[in-house]
């Protein structure tokens, strides 16, 4: 028992973390490779958006024969306080998952990503940062809202938004202001 205790103590002191894929392969008798996809999102993200995203992802994976025949697929949801993505354990080492989808980041998180290319494939949702793949929505929401208010001859439009702003929220605000023209009040919550 003494040897086991020494090994545990040494691994703790060295910060050793076992490779999760290797561990799952050893335990699992399946011929499929384990594939762990992380959804990294801030705590401040609306839960219904995160839930909708996960449901769509699950359906896409379920319906992909090529993926299902080669991999045992699982999703890990990793949450962080807005602006604190850099403080997530193992974000730079890449020991916990094979790939990540990163969403709902603040400008501080975006700066961290810009300065640090992650050691695993990552797709950013609603932000563009050099060195990363991105899926970006259009500015149509801001334009459409402005068109509706203009059609109703509203004279004093206001934009209510949270802080900190994400790239996608800023894009919608800018497109609203551009489409509406004139003065638009912004109210930060």
pLDDT of residue 128: 87
pLDDT of residue 189: 64
Considering the entire predicted model, what is its pTM?
Answer: 0.65
pLDDT of residue 85: 94
Q: Give pLDDT tens digits for 76-97.
A: 888 999 899 999 887 888 788 8
CA neighbours closer than 13 Å in the CB half-sphere of residue 174: 9
Low-confidence ranges of the chain (pLDDT < 50): none
- 3-class SS at 99? strand
């Amino acid at each position: 028992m003494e040897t086991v205790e020494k090994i545990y103590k040494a691994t703790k002191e060295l910060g050793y973390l076992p490779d999760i894929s290797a561990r799952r392969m050893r335990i699992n008798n399946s011929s499929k490779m384990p594939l762990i996809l992380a959804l990294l999102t801030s705590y401040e993200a609306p839960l219904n958006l995160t839930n909708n995203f996960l449901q769509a992802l699950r359906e896409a994976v379920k319906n992909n024969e090529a993926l299902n025949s080669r991999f045992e697929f699982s999703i890990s949801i990793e949450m962080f306080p807005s602006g604190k993505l850099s403080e997530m354990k193992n974000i730079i080492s890449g020991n916990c998952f094979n790939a990540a989808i990163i969403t709902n980041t603040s400008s501080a998180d975006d700066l961290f990503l810009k300065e640090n290319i992650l050691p695993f494939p990552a797709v950013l949702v609603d932000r563009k940062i050099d060195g990363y793949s991105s899926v970006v929505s259009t500015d149509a929401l801001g334009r459409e809202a402005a068109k509706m208010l203009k059609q109703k001859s509203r004279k004093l439009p206001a934009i209510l938004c949270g802080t900190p702003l994400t790239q996608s929220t800023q894009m919608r605000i800018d497109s609203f202001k551009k489409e509406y023209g004139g003065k638009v009040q912004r109210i930060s919550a």
